[in-house]
Amino acid sequence: MKIQGIEYEDLAERYGTPSYVYDGNVLAGTITELCEVLHPALEVFFSLKSNPNISVFRVLHQGGARAEVSSLVELRTALEAGAAPGDIIFLGPGKSEEELVACLEAGIYAVVVESFDELDRLEKLAEARNVRQRVLLRVNPAVAISGSRLTMGGKPRQFGIDEEQVLGAGDLPSRYQYADVAGIHVYMGTRILDPEVLGKNTRYVFELADRVVRHTGIRLDAVDIGGGMGVAYFEGESDLDLTEVAKELNPLIEEFAVGHPGTRLILESGRFLAARAGVYVLRVRYTKQSMGESFAVADGGTHHHMAAVGIGSFVKRNFPSVLLSKDSADRNAPDAAGRWTVTGPLCTPNDTLLKQVGLPALEAGDLLGVERSGAYGPSASPGLFLSHGYPAEVLVMDGVAHLVRSRDEPDDLLRKQHLFDQTRTDDLQGS
Ligand SMILES: *Cc1c(COP(=O)(O)O)cnc(C)c1O
């Protein structure tokens, strides 16, 4: 099996396994297509938390994506990849003072605040530096709109400020001089595969934005409609039809843009932009039978790909997978014996990447790929379990492979540990 003319086997030999391989041309194609079908007034911001690799973001940024970041490192990643401060927003429920100050110093477009307490803190920090910082209020919607796999509204949450509290907050511009409240942000859910749900969410956010303006007197420099566009992972799911998405969203965008000239309209997307471009590449170490079931024990697992393993979900469902070995074309018939269970090196029965999938008869040394793995992979997994650390990441762009993150080596991981020394006198002591 090849990617842009390069054998996966050659990538595995050069960069080792387990590793993540990203198809840069797929990344570029996805952002380009999304920007082309959506109303031009809607700007797409990439959620770096879905894939914080700097080169992955660089490709998306070159294709037109702005940046939505949630930590100091993500902020620096976005800036170093070339995003203009004016195209960056920072959100997250527990921002540190250091992070807030970094936002002020970089002069990013907006800080999305998630509580009034945080807004007060930002006001003080901005006043101390005599700068004005645009702020979007993240609103926790009063209702949930069904259709996403993780709904956000209608529940007590650490995210955002309850709709009721925002509407009851009174005259905000007179209370905050340095924190320049000028817009709202709403994130209604993730893994949405129904265009109608996206339309309903967007209608709700626009209607809410007008209500917030009427109640609080803020300017509306920006409305962030969230996003949460999904991709198909499992049997029975299908990818969003972008033509349908455009049909739902574009008339709403058009109407709102005409009524609110000068208001920036923001769509956030992580999974949709990144997931399909990534393959988790792992090598089978051993095969064995246990009580009639065929196991392939591989070098990768939960520690790099918790989503595929399905930790936290009730039923084990399999991500799409494929045999990547050079001779895979000759071995495409699924094993007559049927089904393979692919597990990793961790000492827990949960470390099962694929449960009874139809793959050709496997043997030690075979190369496997878990597809659609470009979002919420290693950075969203317990990478330090059994001290394996981060895998290598490789970006293939225009037929050339680039190492875009080195794997953690044992020395990298050991360096952070300190053997305690009882002869030291400068350590903190209790009385
Ligand atoms: C996680 C997150 C996103 C990205 O969600 P996807 O489903 O990956 O597109 C966007 N906005 C907020 C506020 C988030 O928390």
User: 62-86 pLDDT, tens per residue?
Assistant: 999 999 999 999 999 999 999 999 9
- Residue 381 sits in the same domain as residue 285: yes
Instruction: Tell me the residue range of the domain where 197 lies.
Output: 84-269
Show Cβ contacts of residue 110 under 8 Å, excluding neighbours closer than 6 positions: 89, 90, 133, 134, 135, 136, 182, 183, 221, 222
409 CA from centroid of ligand 1 (Å): 31
Local structure of 391: helix, strand or coil = coil
Spatial distance between the Cα atoms of 176 and 126, rounded to a whole number of angstroms: 10
Assess contact for 172 and 181: CB atoms under 8 A.
yes
- Is residue 425 assigned to a domain? no
Element housing 76 (H / E):
helix 72-80
- Is residue 41 assigned to a domain? no
pLDDT of 431: 83
Local structure of 224: helix, strand or coil = strand
- Residue 250 sits in the same domain as residue 303: no
- Residue 215 sits in the same domain as residue 299: no
Choose the final residue of a domain: 269, 287, 312.
269
Assess contact for 126 and 151: CB atoms under 8 A.
no
Structure tokens at 89: 């927003």
The amino acid that residue 5 corresponds to is G
- Residue 281 sits in the same domain as residue 238: no
Q: Choose the residue to mutate in 187, 233, 267 for probing ligand 1, maximizing ligand atoms within 8 Å of C-beta.
A: 187
Q: Which residues of the chain have pLDDT under 70?
A: 146-152, 332-338
- Read off the pLDDT of residues 416-427 as tens digits, 9 standing for 90 and up: 999 999 888 888
269 CA from centroid of ligand 1 (Å): 6
Local structure of 427: helix, strand or coil = coil
- Residue 246 sits in the same domain as residue 314: no
The ligand 1 atom nearest the CA atom of 189: 7
Local structure of 139: helix, strand or coil = strand
pLDDT of 314: 79
Closest CA to 21 of 401, 422, 363, 322: 401
| Virtual torsion, Cα 330, 334, 337, 339, nearest 10 deg | 130
Spatial distance between the Cα atoms of 292 and 299, rounded to a whole number of angstroms: 22
Show Cβ contacts of residue 195 under 8 Å, excluding neighbours closer than 6 positions: 240, 241, 244, 245, 247, 248, 249
Predicted structure pTM score: 0.96
CATH number of residue 317's parent domain = 2.40.37.10
| Cis preceding-peptide flag for 349 (omega within 30 of 0) | no
Q: How many residues does the chain have?
A: 431
Q: State how many domains the chain has.
A: 2
- Residue 259 sits in the same domain as residue 282: no
Radius of gyration of the chain from its Cα atoms, rounded to whole angstroms: 24
- Residue 197 sits in the same domain as residue 131: yes
Closest CA to 38 of 267, 276, 263: 267
CATH number of residue 233's parent domain = 3.20.20.10
- Is residue 178 assigned to a domain? yes
- Residue 231 sits in the same domain as residue 353: no
417 CA from centroid of ligand 1 (Å): 33
- Is residue 365 assigned to a domain? yes
- Residue 257 sits in the same domain as residue 297: no
Spatial distance between the Cα atoms of 399 and 404, rounded to a whole number of angstroms: 15
Spatial distance between the Cα atoms of 332 and 359, rounded to a whole number of angstroms: 8
Q: Choose the residue to mutate in 31, 48, 49 for probing ligand 1, maximizing ligand atoms within 8 Å of C-beta.
A: 49
Ligand 1, atom 4: nearest CA belongs to which residue?
A: 270
- Is residue 298 assigned to a domain? yes
pLDDT of 151: 65
pLDDT of 424: 87
Structure tokens at 291: 């009580």
Choose the final residue of a domain: 233, 251, 269.
269
| Virtual torsion, Cα 379, 382, 388, 393, nearest 10 deg | -20
- Residue 258 sits in the same domain as residue 291: no
- Residue 162 sits in the same domain as residue 299: no
Q: Choose the residue to mutate in 68, 138, 148, 190 for probing ligand 1, maximizing ligand atoms within 8 Å of C-beta.
A: 190
Residues near ligand 1 with C-beta < 6 Å?
A: 47, 49-50, 91, 187, 190, 226-229, 268-272, 375
Assess contact for 112 and 224: CB atoms under 8 A.
yes
- Is residue 158 assigned to a domain? yes
pLDDT of 333: 64
